[in-house]
Structure 1
Amino acid sequence: MGNFIEIVVSDNATNTQKGRLLENLGKELLSILQYDVLEEVRITAMEVDLLAKHLISGETIFVECKAHQNNLSADVLTKLLGNVFFKGVSSGWLFTTGPLGKDAKGFREEWSQKVPEDRRKLNIYTSDKLVDLLISSGKICNPIALPKDKKYTYAEENTLIISEYGRFWAIKVLHVSAGVPYGVILYDAENSKLIIDKDVINSVSKLQTSLNDLEFIVTELNDESKLLTEELTEELSNIAIVTGGDQWADYRPSRPRDFIGREDLLRDIFKYFNSVVENETNTRLLAIKAPSGWGKSSALLKLVSKSKSKRYKTKFFVHAVDVRAATSRRYGELSLLSCINSAVEKGFIAKPSEEIIINSVTNPLSSKGLAEILQSLRDENKVLILCFDQFEEIFSKNELADLFESIRKLAIAIDSARENIILGFAWKTDGTTPTDHPAYYMWQSLSDRRREFQLPTFTPKEINKALSIFSKELGQSLNPSLKKYLIDHCQGYPWLLKKLCIHVHSLIKNGIEQNEIMGKGLDIESLFERDLSELSSSEQACLRKIANESPADFFKVDQDFGSETVHALLNRRLIIRKAHKLILYWDIFKDYVLTGSVPRITITYIPQGNLNKYNNLLQLLLNQKEMNLSDIAKNLKISIKASENLIRDMVMFGNVTRQGERIILLQETENEAINKVYSFFNSHILLKTLVTQYGDGFGVTFQEFEKTFINLYKESQFSQKTFGVYINRVINWFLGLNIIRVSHGQITYLSEKIPMPKQILIPNGRIAVSARIQPFLGAAPPERILELITKIEHGTDNEEELKNLGLRNAVTVLKSLGIAIKQIDTIKLVNLDDDYKLTIAEKVIETQTIQLIVHYIKEQRTAPSSGEVGTMVAKLLNKEWKDASKTRTGLALLKWHKWATEVIKEKNSATMI
């Protein structure tokens, strides 16, 4: 039997009253031991430091009193010893009402091994010793002698409450089958009388003690005790073990055999478990964090499954419970009891000789039965792990506000004990818990005590593995186009991949061919809308009711809507039953039912084609509206595979829908189509990450841009060459859409949308990773460019014919300036105003190479020579050019600089006039 002390006062008591209560106990204990208090060094709400002198020997001691409920750390003992030496007293005494932590126990054990003279420097009086002193001196009665009613079963520990209302023995009444206390009976600690005064009982019950989770029983009301035991029995039956789906096409957590990847995460978690066995960590709390639908519950089930493998089954026991089944503040301790009992039943640990009882959430491991289990875990190097899944779901229930505090106390107690027991939490990171919510405080206050494991999105390898399992479920190979579509659209999100695959699975089982499926850009809302479209009005109302009250009471919903409606939703897998609770199959679906909104998907897709090819196909489709794939390949003079990649891009952009071989344009005008592409890239993960890292309107170097890109796609394991190709491609798409600007070696984000041109721009020089930028080199002089424009305007626009006329270099220059694009075999002028000479001049002046000349003139106040210009350009491109090449390039660029400057100057002069 254990005896504990709790010193408590009401919330409206003053600090002086709190200090006086603790001071009086300290003085009383010292007087029993023949000491007299000489000086009250400090009196606060939590501790009293006293200097006392023995009435016979004259020995002076320093006494520290600690009134607390949580485990005491060894720091208190080392500080006390420091004060002993600092003040020069004979010894230091600690009166502690709460339990010692593991490190404090270790310190006490180590200190007990010292020689007697040293041992006298420190004396520790824990609550049981303090109670013994009070009993032996006659200050209080012995709880063994209390007149207890035999109709109750009592817990093996008693609590002495010292309060402003008096001193009471609080005797816990035990629920025999559950193994936890459910109520408290009060006795006067001085005269052993049963307290039946309701006002006294009510006052004591409101004090902040470790007994707050229990009901204070008025023994005259027998029906009250019966009601309490029935409620606890029901609560115990509501402990819901996390379970997976019955089959692959089930929205519930994945069966362990269907679980994909995350090997590194699982390996790290088991490494953490092992560090507890080896006593290499002091942390006994862990969190698996991820947004909704990323597989936290599935990961827990996989942990449970792996813990049963040959490698781990004798070391780790993982027990995962669903918090959505909670109906009261007792769920935490009952779940721990469920974990321990399950481990005993399955033979992981031996059944102790004493009953397994959890006396309280603040001191859950104090019973004799649990002490045996803890010793067994230590001796056999085993660990028990209890995980709370869907932990954040209870935030929406005001009636469960006390559960937050209860689990916080339990977590602190487990962590402080540093035994071979771990508490785990699956935590949704995309929730909206307000900062003033008690759950938010609880989570943040434990942040420095827990190990956190972030669940990542699927890697390309994991997506492919998941699709292989899907293919087996279908009983047929996936069409390559459909497979690419699923890979592109899931964006690495496990929930979205599962949703898409289940949708495809349903369509194929209903006789639809693979090549007829998924030919349109992703519309997540329509996927969820299909879930609702086939429901009756009664079923939809029931679904909304469950979503609004989730987790909703099964019996109440069944009563309101009828068993037929509830079971129809259960059979459709739209709702799931957890003990006596009903929930929707996904948080994401619940949010859709309540708000009509779906998650925003950050785009990770990398275009397979370039700007020129896209423009060519867009112009073709604007003329034809719809075409066969083979006709597209023929008209563009590219392979079927290359055409597939272009169509893949346009499907992702939302430009086209695909029906087998038929490709249908979804927009009426070129501007509408390009705006679709603009929206696509403005939601791209690369752009969002750069904004997060460097701010809105960022300016970054090419190296910084590349580093960000590579970090985002490192799991794809691209080769260095492939990374270079993709980075070039994305930069040129951003340039062509006026999302970024490249100038002086900087990439700048144009955060304010610039009015879209009629055509996508061809950037001023294509970006290359190796050379950073392929700048304007003036391969053809201005007069040849003007000649080329004149010929195109008069109908000579065939590329080969223009090249035969000696205009090959002029065509190249015009394309690089974004003034012309190739469409099929023809050259089309774009982005030219009526005053096209000015347009060309302005574009030329903005090029990086011409800017070298502009800056040179500004700094040196003179024009550079052709050789100097060539040397600057060679250095920019990291090229080893001969002097002749430098001179030739310098002359061409100087000529362009002079021409462009004169055109702009002439225009400005005309404007002023």
Structure 2
Amino acid sequence: MDQITVDTAAVVVLAEGSSTSEISNRRGHLFEMFIAKLLATQGYGDPHPENLNFTSEGIELDVQARHTVTNEQLICECKAYSSNVRVPLLTSFLGKFALARADDDRIHGLFIALPRLTPEAKEKADAAQAKLPGFRYLGSYEICQLLQAANVLPSWDEGPEIRSDPTVIVTEHGVVLAACELDSQTRRASRWVTWTRTQDVPAPVVRLIERHLSKGLPVVRAGHEAGAVPIRVPSLPKIVEVQGSTSDFEYQLPAAPEFFIGRKILAQSLLEKLRDRDTAGSIVINAKSGWGKSSLVLHLQKGIEKAGGVGIVIDSRTAERSEFVPAAMERIIRKAVERKVLELPPQAAFSSLQSIVETLKRATWTSPARPIFLAFDQFENVFRDSDLTREFRDLAFLIREINAPLTISFSWKTDVVAWTEGYPFGLRNDIRDASLVSILEPFGPREVEALLRRLEKSLGSKLNRDLRQRLREYNSQGLPWLFKKFGAHILAEVDRGVTQDDLAKQALNARGLFESDLARLSPSEQAVLRTVAQAAPVAISDLDYDVATGAVLDSLLHQRLVVQVGHTIDVYWDTFRDYLNNGSVAIEDSYVVRYAPLGAGRLLRVVVAEGGSVSVPDAAARLDTTATVVFNYSRELRQFGVLSAESNRVTLEPDLLDSPDREEAIRARVSQALRRHKMYKLAADMLTREDIVSIPQFAAVLAAEFRAVAAKSDSWVTYARSFCQWMEYAGLVRLLANGMTRMTESDSEPLGRLLSGAVPVRVRSPFPGANPGPALQLLLHLSDPAGHTRPSKNGFATAVRDLTALGLVDTDEGERIVLSGNSVFSHGAVEPGRLREIVERQRGMREAFAALESNPGLSPLSLGIAHRDALGAEWAESTMLSAGKFIRAWARACGISTQLRTTDRQD
């Protein structure tokens, strides 16, 4: 008997039934009978099954029995799996057995693992058999020996001469053996052969093998020349190798090794592990979509081939059934034989994953051994099928038994989402646990700079400063694919005659590029593209005949908006597919917001006054500034989608100009843009952990996240403050003296305005900032300039600041301060009750007024301390004293009576 063959034997229980539950019940009963026969060969009788489970791995059975001669008790666990049994299950049984033996030192323990234990588990079992009296382990080889000695099984030699995949089949008609008969040339399975000890295999058993085991191959009884007609003729799975790009900016394909950039330390470390390993193993390469996983494995393949080995990178999107795995393994082995990396053994077989692993274990490798590398790319598509995922999982565990430098690589994105409730998380985690896991980081400043230089080389000229800076910012997230997409766009636009200056003014982002892709398509091309996206990857045979054979699909393939992978069609990138299906873009915008809303508001008011569009020179003249300043003012507004990108003009988007409430329409547009921005996500994450986030804190996080942007720490503070002011304008956060905080439903302070009203130059100052006298005087002056004088120069600035905070003044198109309304007036005078309603909208003022009404003699310092705490500020005692005085003064202006004790400090 050939131990190498029999040691891999599987035990399969097959039964018929009218329902799934009936079949399971029958299989359970048959497996119990099989184990009873096995135990009987060892003298154990009257077995009592304690637990029977059918899992995705196979059958589990716990049994207790007593020896018919010694009456000693046996506890037994049986695991009949599709793959070798791993250490944790054995360890669990050993613990259970040790506890039982502590109570009864005559008890015996038997662990049955089918087909066998993994090498690590086998080593542990051997140690346990030497140290634990009464413990024994049985695998398929030992079981076949015992059953053949007891005349339960026939000899393996009665089966086909060239065979693989030995299987013990348990049925209600008896126990039979089966194996794949191999084609002498291809060494692939040609048919299944089954035989029994005393008679022909019953016809029902043949039918069971056809239905559940043969995968379409014919099934014959040993000694019979003619077999049954196969249920189906199995076709070989389609194996497609991943192709690299032909240029630096061919974004539809991963970078070929000659265009590979960065990852030097990681790539070198992985190559050393792949070249120098003595035992086969697997690696998992994880990263988000577009971070360069495919490019890295192509680079590793090239490195392996330079070392004299062989490598293949396979696109997993064509994987549809479990036969894909042995087909891929056969591909790399045949290539290794062709390159004289190894020689096949006489017993070589390619009928199944198990037979291929045995073939590699018995193969003759060159000396010194040269590495083999097989990479499965786009692996997240495999997770749609749990049976297929299980086959890959088994591969990751089985290859560890091979003493040779073979590496299997799995690459999948970490932002993969489960498609169904049956998503195989456990199988995915098994693959990771069996592998060396490598996490890709996004590109840093050095890699982005290298790409910028390559873009300049492709352009044949230097990038202008603004466009270069924009590209750094747009690609600050470090996504290689996104930079290549931008680079291809710039090259195409320059070929069309667009200048770099005009490109620098465009609001480039992933959404804009996708919209550009669609804009050049006809309606029929868009329809076919969306049809493919909804089912991608979709088999060509599943498309309508007119679509699959028409010029429209050919056009989309030519434009590289869809790609053909074997017999399937897929959209060139999954983020583009998501955009086609639901309009969302998972990539956050990452341009740096540099300028505060103040200048943008001044520019917008000029644009609106000119009817929605104004030339840059005219805008500069109206604002008494330069064209460069106008460009800077308009920069953020273009990014937010408020201004359109026109050469030498500043134009408000038509839908915003025609809106009945332009201010709120602009605010909504800005809010929508900010919510897509990475800066907003960072701010929101920080505010979930802290009530108040300081501007320096936010700036430090921005500097760490936007690694491709070179800026000093002071500049990051400016950028952080500017973005916070834009977020406050959009109603996303509230600015305080010491940072930003979340907006709440109770916030009643008015939001800033761009088309009218003053916007704070820096962080909003706490209210009140001064006594109310100058502010009330300015209100009266604006209401009746002839009857009331303007406040003094010293009081004017504080009056404007406080009235702006209250929302009582705006600025008109000429930048002049005007009343925002007359609601605070009554018969030409400021009405205290109405003023109080407005003042109490400011943070902390309602509580301060209530405290004063409860205790009119409350001191300024006490009021200041309470107000500081309400605002979460950090003030010196002098600041708290001043704030308390101002609050008392505003309280009197609002009609609240105040008084001081003689011992209190005076207002």
Q: TM-score, normalised by structure 2?
A: 0.78
Pairing 1:735–2:728 present: yes
Amino acid at match of 2:606: L
Q: Deviations over 1:65-107 (max 9, x none)?
A: 4433332224156246514454322753444332111222212
What's the CA shift for 1:300? 3.4
Superposed, which structure 2 residues align to 1:206-225 within 5 Å? 206-207=211-212, 211=213, 213=215, 215-218=217-220
What's the CA shift for 1:481? 3.2
Distance of 1:752 and 1:686 partners within structure 2: 25
Distance of 1:795 and 1:356 partners within structure 2: 102
* Residues 246 and 224 (structure 1), Cα distance of their counterparts in 2 relative to 1, 3 Å cut: farther
* Residues 795 and 330 (structure 1), Cα distance of their counterparts in 2 relative to 1, 3 Å cut: farther
* Residues 62 and 615 (structure 1), Cα distance of their counterparts in 2 relative to 1, 3 Å cut: closer
Task: Determine the structure 2 residue equivalent to 1:891.
Answer: 885
Pairing 1:776–2:793 present: no
Distance of 2:151 and 2:41 partners within structure 1: 10
What's the CA shift for 1:731? 2.6
Q: Deviations over 1:500-526 (max 9, x none)?
A: 332221121233322334644458667
Amino acid at match of 2:286: I
Q: Is the 8 A contact 2:248 2:255 kept in 1?
A: yes
Match of 2:94 among 66, 78, 81: 78
Distance of 1:709 and 1:176 partners within structure 2: 70
Task: Please say which of residues 74-83 and 644-653 is displaced more in the overlay.
Answer: 74-83
Pairing 1:255–2:256 present: yes
Match of 2:153 among 135, 140, 144: 140
Match of 1:89 among 102, 106, 122: 106
Distance of 2:73 and 2:859 partners within structure 1: 95
Distance of 1:156 and 1:222 partners within structure 2: 18
Q: Deviations over 1:594-639 (max 9, x none)?
A: x473526534444221122121111112123434445544543455
Superposed, which structure 2 residues align to 1:347-746 within 5 Å? 350-351=342-343, 353-354=345-346, 356-358=348-350, 360-361=352-353, 363=354, 366-367=357-358, 369-372=359-362, 386-393=374-381, 403-411=388-396, 413=398, 423-428=408-413, 433-437=418-422, 443=428, 462-487=447-472, 492=477, 494-517=480-503, 519-521=505-507, 527-528=513-514, 531=517, 547=533, 550-552=536-538, 562=549, 568-590=555-577, 595=581, 597=583, 599=585, 601-624=587-610, 625-638=612-625, 640-666=627-653, 667-668=656-657, 670-671=662-663, 672-688=665-681, 700-703=690-693, 710-711=700-701, 714-717=704-707, 719-741=712-734
Amino acid at match of 1:646: Y
Task: Determine the structure 1 residue equivalent to 2:902.
Answer: none
Q: Is the 8 A contact 2:443 2:480 kept in 1?
A: yes
Distance of 1:664 and 1:764 partners within structure 2: 22
Task: Determine the structure 1 residue equivalent to 2:903.
Answer: none
Pairing 1:749–2:735 present: no
Task: Determine the structure 2 residue equivalent to 1:244.
Answer: 244
What's the CA shift for 1:165? 3.1
Distance of 2:865 and 2:633 partners within structure 1: 40
What's the CA shift for 1:412? 5.8
Q: Which runs of 5+ in 2 are unaligned?
A: 54-59, 899-907
Distance of 1:806 and 1:62 partners within structure 2: 94
Distance of 1:903 and 1:259 partners within structure 2: 76
Q: Is the 8 A contact 2:278 2:403 kept in 1?
A: no
Distance of 2:404 and 2:466 partners within structure 1: 54
Distance of 1:614 and 1:163 partners within structure 2: 81
SS at match of 2:169: strand
Pairing 1:40–2:54 present: no
* Residues 200 and 634 (structure 1), Cα distance of their counterparts in 2 relative to 1, 3 Å cut: same
Distance of 1:845 and 1:533 partners within structure 2: 52
Task: Please say which of residues 815-824 and 167-176 is displaced more in the overlay.
Answer: 815-824
* Residues 355 and 514 (structure 1), Cα distance of their counterparts in 2 relative to 1, 3 Å cut: farther
Task: Determine the structure 2 residue equivalent to 1:910.
Answer: none
SS at match of 2:564: strand
Q: Deviations over 1:391-419 (max 9, x none)?
A: 344678xxx78534544554565589999
Distance of 2:695 and 2:254 partners within structure 1: 38
What's the CA shift for 1:775? 2.1
Amino acid at match of 1:775: P
Q: Is the 8 A contact 1:850 1:897 kept in 2?
A: no
Distance of 1:482 and 1:319 partners within structure 2: 39
* Residues 43 and 85 (structure 1), Cα distance of their counterparts in 2 relative to 1, 3 Å cut: same
Distance of 1:556 and 1:744 partners within structure 2: 62
* Residues 85 and 480 (structure 1), Cα distance of their counterparts in 2 relative to 1, 3 Å cut: same
* Residues 526 and 411 (structure 1), Cα distance of their counterparts in 2 relative to 1, 3 Å cut: same
Q: Which runs of 5+ in 1 are unaligned?
A: 905-913
Amino acid at match of 1:215: L
SS at match of 1:67: strand
SS at match of 1:607: coil
Match of 1:53 among 63, 67, 71: 67
Q: Is the 8 A contact 1:792 1:827 kept in 2?
A: no
* Residues 541 and 688 (structure 1), Cα distance of their counterparts in 2 relative to 1, 3 Å cut: closer
Q: Is the 8 A contact 2:467 2:504 kept in 1?
A: yes
Amino acid at match of 1:609: Y
Amino acid at match of 2:893: W
* Residues 355 and 477 (structure 1), Cα distance of their counterparts in 2 relative to 1, 3 Å cut: farther
What's the CA shift for 1:734? 2.6
Q: Is the 8 A contact 1:759 1:830 kept in 2?
A: no
Q: Deviations over 1:135-161 (max 9, x none)?
A: 234332212133x4xxxx833452221
What's the CA shift for 1:359? 5.2
Task: Determine the structure 1 residue equivalent to 2:901.
Answer: none
What's the CA shift for 1:656? 1.7
Superposed, which structure 2 residues align to 1:88-127 within 5 Å? 88-89=105-106, 91-110=108-127, 114=130, 121-127=134-140
Task: Determine the structure 1 residue equivalent to 2:330.
Answer: 337
Match of 1:190 among 197, 212, 218: 197
SS at match of 1:241: coil
How many pairs does the alignment contain? 851
Distance of 1:545 and 1:124 partners within structure 2: 56
Distance of 1:486 and 1:645 partners within structure 2: 17
Q: Deviations over 1:280-321 (max 9, x none)?
A: xx9956352424x45443343344445567xxx58x976431
Q: Is the 8 A contact 2:284 2:432 kept in 1?
A: no
Pairing 1:202–2:207 present: yes
What's the CA shift for 1:214? 6.2
Q: Is the 8 A contact 2:216 2:230 kept in 1?
A: no
Q: Is the 8 A contact 1:158 1:171 kept in 2?
A: yes
Task: Determine the structure 1 residue equivalent to 2:175.
Answer: 167
* Residues 541 and 415 (structure 1), Cα distance of their counterparts in 2 relative to 1, 3 Å cut: farther
What's the CA shift for 1:331? 0.8
Distance of 1:142 and 1:899 partners within structure 2: 107
Q: Is the 8 A contact 2:13 2:171 kept in 1?
A: yes
* Residues 846 and 808 (structure 1), Cα distance of their counterparts in 2 relative to 1, 3 Å cut: same
Match of 2:81 among 47, 51, 68: 68
Q: TM-score, normalised by structure 1?
A: 0.78
Q: Is the 8 A contact 1:182 1:214 kept in 2?
A: no
What's the CA shift for 1:330? 0.9
Task: Please say which of residues 812-821 and 744-753 is displaced more in the overlay.
Answer: 744-753
Task: Determine the structure 1 residue equivalent to 2:297.
Answer: 300
SS at match of 1:21: helix
Task: Determine the structure 2 residue equivalent to 1:326.
Answer: 319
Q: Is the 8 A contact 1:874 1:880 kept in 2?
A: no
